[in-house]
Structure 1
Amino acid sequence: MTETRSTCPYCGVGCGVIIESQGPEITGVRGDPEHPANFGRLCTKGSTLHLTASSAVTRQTRLLYPMRREHRGEAPKRVSWDSALDFASESFAQIIREHGPDAVGFYISGQLLTEDYYAFNKLAKGLIGTNNIDSNSRLCMSSAVAGYKQTLGADAPPASYDDVHHAQCIFIVGSNTAFAHPILFRRIEDAKAANPALKIIYVDPRRTDTAEIADLFLPLQPGTDVMLFNGMLHIMLWEGWIDAAWIAAHTSGFEALKALARDCTPDLVAQICGIRKEDLFTAARLFATSGATLSLYCQGLNQSSSGTAKNAALINLHLATAQIGKPGAGPFSLTGQPNAMGGREVGGMANLMSGHRDLSNAEHRAEVAALWGVHSVPEKPGKTAVEMFQAAADGEIKALWIACTNPAQSMPDQATVRRALARAELVIVQEAFATTATCDYADLLLPATTWGEKTGTVTNSERRISRVRPAVAAPGETRHDWSIAVDFAQRLEKLLGAQSPHPNPLPEGEGEVARIKTATQSPIELPPPPGGGLGWKPHG
């Protein structure tokens, strides 16, 4: 039996796993006791991960060879990689020549590795010259990105899992942590057992499993989060629970925030939120006056038409009370997918750039263009996920390249998504499994490797970079996602007559991905040591 250290591909906790394999078969998986995200623990899904890689699954559901449909509605037929990528590059080149670079779009995934994300981002923005590349993370994490940038100036969660053990108050909102991030919840249980004085506040319209550990449960009405947070701030201001000296030294715009909270009186907030006024006061007091308050939040705040406002209002509570920048304190957004954070680091969305650079900043665009060896990168933000499929349904976007995600099943407004897939002149699906709903719409199917076969890195919720390592050989003619993007880019470059900006993005040695990451994190030496992954240290 062979053992391989890797990372679980499910949620954003980023647990280390040890894969057990015999020859070409993955036979088991267990938690890695040396990995600081989980210290050997695994949830039910993680502990049965090996079942998804069984030979029966591979034989029945895997996409193992490139396949092409000559006509929509027909069964796809096997083709060679050269034939598939020549067809893809020639079709893209023709559409770009006739309609411009913004006539194509890439829809990618938080399930991709950072190197995959980076290659696609560079392909779209560096070679083709379009920002029409967005991720399914748009549906869950874009509000967190905007909230951090709006309040802290950068999309950089300032907390870590270890803060759970230093907190005196944990404020959980919009997250059923016990169900969605169970290994992190085990840490919360451990912290509570070790420190019974730890106070846990849980805010959710539903009484979920997470509520069982709470000292205070606030069953607010759906959509009233901003009112709740501003009401807590109103009380903090009235009771003198803010840190005026810290605010003066480290923030700006507080007077405007005070004006915003002025009308959020306890009576009004309790009525709108559907909670007791006494509980509102208790929540404000515990949050503001504890030695260290850590907030944990997820899709209950993010998946909302007012998601950015909810994120910003919560972060403002931390800034008003100086509950940030010290052990056990800070606003901590929990990512849902295993590499949503890695995608954010390398700019894998329509309004982001690599290394947390700002798309609207001319100096940042020039910096990225110089790294890629191109004259410029496009300034205009691209279509977001929902906008991209609407544009395809309207005939504005002619070609869609979909990688490692299943929009025909998972996107909102399915009628529009399926109309977009049917109307687009070209739909390319890069996928590990042949049975997804989106595969039925593909003109070209490109087989990708999946968990247990891939190599690269992921970044979890606390911005810890962990290695993903292959335990078995790739089956059939599957290829790594980044490799497919690079091969396609090199063919397209010849047809467009542009200089290819696509060196190997894998993280050996001084790769580009490592250089991009060092711009916003501590110096990184890749590959990381076995077991632990690489963490980060805030600069003081």
Structure 2
Amino acid sequence: MNPSAATGTIKTTCPYCGVGCGVLATRQADNSVTIAGDPDHPANFGRLCSKGSALGETISLEGRLLHPEIDGTRANWDQALDLVATRFRAAIAEHGPQSVAIYGSGQLLTEDYYVANKLMKGFIGSANIDTNSRLCMASSVAGHKRAFGSDTVPGNYEDLEQADLIVLVGSNLGWCHPVLYQRIVAARAARPEMKVVLIDPRRTVSADIAEMHLPIAPDGDSALFVGLLAHLDQLGAVDSDYVAAYTTGIEAAVLTAEDWPVARVAEATGLSPLSITRFYDLFTRTRKVVTVFSQGVNQSAAGTDKVNAIINCHLATGRIGKPGMGPFSVTGQPNAMGGREVGGLANMLAAHMDFTPEAIDRVGRFWGAADVAQGPGLKAVDLFAAMARGEIKAVWIMATNPVDSMPEADAVRDALRACPFVVVSDMNRNTDTMALAHVRLPAAGWGEKDGTVTNSERRISRQRPFMPLPGEARPDWWIIKEVARRLGFGQAFAYFGPAQIFAEHAALSGFENDGGRDFDLSGLVGADYETMAPTQWPVRSRPAARMFGDAKFFTPDGKARFVPVQPPPPFAPSPGVLMLNTGRVRDHWHTMTRTGKAARLSAHMAEPFVEIHPADANALGIRRAHLVRLSNRHGVAVVRALVTDRQRRGELFVPMHWTDQFASEGRVDALVPGKTDPVSGQPALKMAQVHAEPMGARLYGFLVAASRPRIEADYWAIAPAANGWRAEIALLDEPGDWEAFLAATFGSDAGFQSLRDERSGRRAFVLIENGRLVAALYTAPDPVLVSRQWAVDLLGADDLTASIVLAGRPGADRPDGGAIVCSCMGVGINTITEAVTRHGCTTVEAVGALTRAGTNCGSCRAEIRGIVDANRLIAAE
């Protein structure tokens, strides 16, 4: 299909989280694209979250890499690809195949992944191809394989709606997988007897629908579920017939669990014995239970054991493979599952095969490859450590940004600086990783790419192009194919399109597979790729909605395995040290290379922040909305203080999205040590020890500008705004020459009008041309009180006067909607408050009917409910 010829509405798939929502994209005459949810897609039935809804706002060419570059100079494709092949060939010849590596991404399509994996493991002969999925899903993979003999997610999304109890463990589903969360909300509204338990150190928005929130201590999950297994055994709730017929190893697992009575579990988890017993009793007496787990489980040095502790409880009660029950790992990226299918992790071969002699021989014969890698390669953390030691001579990074997302991110940056040859293929020119590339290759982006992705319920969906390839951008599979050809492997990589690659992938999955391997797409061989509907694997004669309903597992004896789990001891940080947890916010994605383009996605949270308990903030002298310096031996971050009792004492939370492109020191993964799970190799991204202290800024500022400013400040965080830019700044010393500061920041100081309040030390500077706001800066000794959204909205206003803007607050003729709460509909806190206090809205539904807030993806409904509750008394007066 020629992307430039795509017309009408195209069915495609969202490029964000692992929910895998169907999207309808319609290209307009002006080349803009309207986005809607696909009502026929079984993942979302028409719903989209705030990020998905804003996809049309992220496809501009601003910041795109449009041409190959060598050492920062434009080159043509032949020059760039010849150099990549030459340098990889030289490294292999001099240092062996283990001296080169590929680091990929769950943003790649399955076809891209397949070709990259085939090149490295099949023809270069090295398994040094790993992916950022190592950072989010590796422990789930390892836990599944230990229990089931295969990396198989048993259930599907319908189970979430059919369950009588949903246990969310380390999963802020409300913000990180909003469409799944809303499916649960709707099911619970239809069946009020459905119960939800949230197990999370933080009281996240997902607690809004939970009967119980268990604010568990970091890494307490293993103890909680090991204790649950002991409880089930003691009460005689184990399904003895199921266990005897279909599992092995329960005796050892229970023997370990017997050492974990409720009192010891309470000590390890920080939970009260009463709360633990209530949870255990609820789990025991409820037959249809789904346990949903995500990064809070996986991103741990004991992540694999946590996964198996959860699975043990489901196996013990026979609650697996049946409607409304089972352990359910929800993936973080759109194609983390697809990458696992093709062997995109260093310890996997292809098509869910491991590095066994039989599998190596099988894959080698299928590919016609004589030099298939004989064993696992370097996992992500080990890969960059080897690079730092000088062992990796050439690396190719695809569609990811490890300088920001890897633990010990500063050390990763240093390793890349030291690496003799770095290739980065990406759609974005301005990333912290791209800055270190010797060769930059312009890759196709969402809306231009053609291929498949697999979501958390094993459902394969098509991503279809609806935009032409810009400049000289090319699909990732094509770039890899061309390098393979230059390395002498052209015959094995003579692909003409993604359909051919998918057909080979499907054929390999069924090759010599008599049902002994879980991943099998043989039923799709010969299928019409262009019209292929969303389909769950395995597909032999027909798709399988659930796995293990027949209690047949993929172990040698066909039985599931219990894994004895010994929980780690309770962690006690050193005096004066706080535990740092990292994660996501509602409206941003990974390192913001896509969402950072959409103004409305930055309106809710426009700068990096740290959640800190009021008692900790008071003890450390950290005031609300002031800046906080976090530090340890690995790095430093400066973030805004969000003082809240949602956070446990002694612990902090900082989102992982901000990079050097958007903030001066917001790269929180620079603080995270490279400690990994010994089984999965997944890093413990949620348990860094840090010191926290006030930054000590003398002057705070907020600015808006029609053009991107050049900020020179001790702290800054910038975000796009409708019709311009917005930024927060802070200075350790007041500028000696304000005219020079304004000129450096905005490109000119001519025409600025200013206002100074001598008593408070507040200043305002405004530049207006022809009634339009060009720039405004507000400063104060404390965080400035200007309404951000009001100031941002002025960038689109006409007939402005300096006095209006200098005032720093709206007049009666310009109502202030307040800070954005609902990003989908652009509704602010003041508008919602007014709906309650002036219009008598007493429910979230009533607020939505009046303002439209919360009526799209629903991720803001918990926040709206909090505003309603806080203002209900005022409304009643």
Residue 419 (1) aligns with residue 425 (2): no
Aligned pair partner of 1:255 in 227, 251, 256: 251
CA apart distance, 1:296:
0.6
C-alpha contact 1:5 1:531 (8 A) present in aligned 2: no
Partner of 2:65 in structure 1? 63
For residues 20-65 of structure 1, the C-alpha deviation after alignment (integer angstroms, 9 at most, x for no partner) is 10358242110000000000000111001010113xxx0x300000
Deviation at 1:288, TM superposition (A): 3.0
Q: Which segment is superposed worse, 210-219 or 395-404? A: 210-219
For 2:505, which of 500, 503, 513 is the aligned residue?
A: 513
1:328 Cα shift? 0.8
What is the match of residue 375 of structure 1?
370
TM-aligned CA deviation for residue 279 of structure 1: 2.3
Superposed displacement of residue 216, structure 1: 1.8
* Greater Cα shift, 304-313 or 500-509: 500-509
Task: For 2:244, give the aligned amino acid.
Answer: A
Structure 2 counterparts to residues 146-157 of structure 1, below 5 A? 146-157=142-153
State the match for 1:304 in structure 2: 300
Please, which runs of 5 or more residues in structure 1 have no aligned partner? 70-75
Matches within 5 A, 1:305-384: 305-359=301-355, 361-384=356-379
* Contact 1:225-1:310 at 8 Å conserved across structures: yes
SS in 1 for 2:217: coil
- Determine helix, strand or coil for the equivalent of 2:292: strand
2-structure distance, mates of 1:89, 1:207: 51
Do residues 444 (structure 1) and 439 (structure 2) align?
A: yes
Answer with 408-417 or 126-135: which moved more. 408-417
User: Aligned letter for 1:12?
Assistant: G
TM-superposition CA deviations, 1:75-98 (whole Å, max 9, x none): x11111011111111111111100
CA distance in 2, matches of 1:99, 1:500: 25
**Deviation digits for residues 166-225 of structure 1, max 9, x if unmatched?**
111111100000000000001111111111111211111111111111112211111111
**SS across alignment from 1:63:** coil
Query: What is the letter of the counterpart of residue 278 of structure 1?
Result: L
1:113-262 matched pairs, under 5 angstroms: 113-262=109-258
SS state at 2:78 partner: helix
Does residue 395 of structure 1 match 2:390?
A: yes
Change (3 A) 1:510 1:311: closer
User: AA paired with 1:10?
Assistant: Y
User: Could you tell which deviates more after superposition, 473-482 or 286-295?
Assistant: 286-295
**Which of structures 1 and 2 has the larger relative contact order (alpha carbons within 8 angstroms, sep 6+)?**
1
Q: Which amino acid aligns with 1:514?
A: A
What CA distance in whole angstroms lies between the structure 1 residues aligned with 2:121 and 2:500? 23
CA contact (8 A) 2:12 2:464 kept: yes
Separation (CA, whole Å) in 1 of partners of 2:530 and 2:484: 32
Query: Does the residue aligned with 1:105 lie in a helix, a strand or coil?
Result: strand
Kept after mapping to 2: 8 A contact 1:23/1:472: no
Q: Report if aligned partners of 1:200, 1:216 keep a CA contact under 8 Å in 2.
A: yes
Structure having the higher Rg: 2
1:531 deviates by 8.5
* Distance verdict in 2 for CA 1:528–1:16, change over 3 Å: farther
Q: CA deviation at 1:379?
A: 1.7
Q: What's the CA shift string for 1:387-436, capped at 9, x where partnerless?
A: 11111111011001000001112211122211211111100000101001
Q: Which moved more, 1:516-525 or 1:172-181?
A: 516-525
Q: 2:10 aligned to 4, 21, 26, which one?
A: 4
Is the Cα–Cα contact under 8 Å of residues 403 and 410 in structure 2 kept in the other structure?
no
- The residue that corresponds to 2:536 in the other structure is 535
Distance 2:354 2:30 in 1: 44
2:404 to 405, 409, 421: 409
In structure 1, how many angstroms separate the alpha carbons of the residues matched to 2:326 and 2:529?
27
CA distance, structure 2, for counterparts of residue 409 and residue 195 of structure 1 = 43
1:25 aligns to what? 31
Q: Secondary structure at the match of 1:355?
A: coil
Distance 2:241 2:499 in 1: 44
Shift of 1:529: 7.3
Between the aligned partners of 1:531 and 1:301, the Cα distance in structure 2 is: 34
Shift of 1:247: 0.6
Name which of 271, 277, 280 aligns with 1:281: 277
Offset of residue 272 of structure 1: 2.1
Aligned to 1:46: 52
Partner residue of 2:683? none
Change (3 A) 1:450 1:219: same
Q: 2:642 — aligned with what?
A: none
2:345 and 2:29 map into 1 onto residues whose CA distance is: 38
Contact 1:266 1:280 in 2 (8 A): yes
Identity %, equivalent residues: 46
For 2:492, give the aligned amino acid: P
The corresponding residue for 1:429 is 424
- C-alpha separation between the residues in 1 aligned to 2:41 and 2:258? 46
The alpha-carbon distance between structure 1 residues 408 and 201, as it changes in their structure 2 partners (threshold 3 A), is same
Give the match's secondary structure for 2:524. Answer: coil
2:100 to 94, 98, 104: 104
Q: Structure 1 stretch 117-126 or stretch 508-517: which is displaced more?
A: 508-517
Q: Deviations over 1:147-180 (max 9, x none)?
A: 1001111101001001112111111100000000
Higher-helix-fraction structure? 1
Give distance in 2, aligned partners of 1:398 and 1:259. Answer: 49
Aligned-residue offset at 1:528? 5.5
Q: CA deviation at 1:514?
A: 1.9
More deviation, 8-17/518-527: 518-527
Distance 1:53 1:517 in 2: 34
> Which residue of 2 is the match for residue 524 of structure 1?
524
Higher strand share goes to which structure? 2
Q: Give every structure 1 segment of 4 or more consecutive aligned residues whose post-TM-superposition deviation is greater than 4 Å.
A: 527-532
| Secondary structure of 1:102 counterpart | helix
Structure 1: distance between partners of 2:532 and 2:42:
8
- Equivalent position amino acid for 2:64 in 1: R
Structure 1 position 508, deviation (Å):
4.5
2:463 aligned with 1:489, yes or no?
no
Q: CA deviation at 1:343?
A: 0.2
Larger deviation, residues 451-460 vs 21-30? 21-30
For residues 414 and 501 of structure 2, the distance between their equivalents in structure 1, rounded to whole angstroms, comes to 45
Preserved CA contact (<8 Å) 1:466 1:528? no
- From 10, 21, 25, the counterpart of 1:15: 21
- Residue 411 to residue 509, structure 1, CA distance change in 2 (3 Å): closer
Distance change in 2, residues 1:403/1:164 (3 Å): same
Q: Which amino acid aligns with 2:213?
A: F
Could you tell me which runs of 5 or more consecutive residues in structure 2 were left unpaired when the two chains were aligned: 1-6, 514-518, 538-543, 551-877
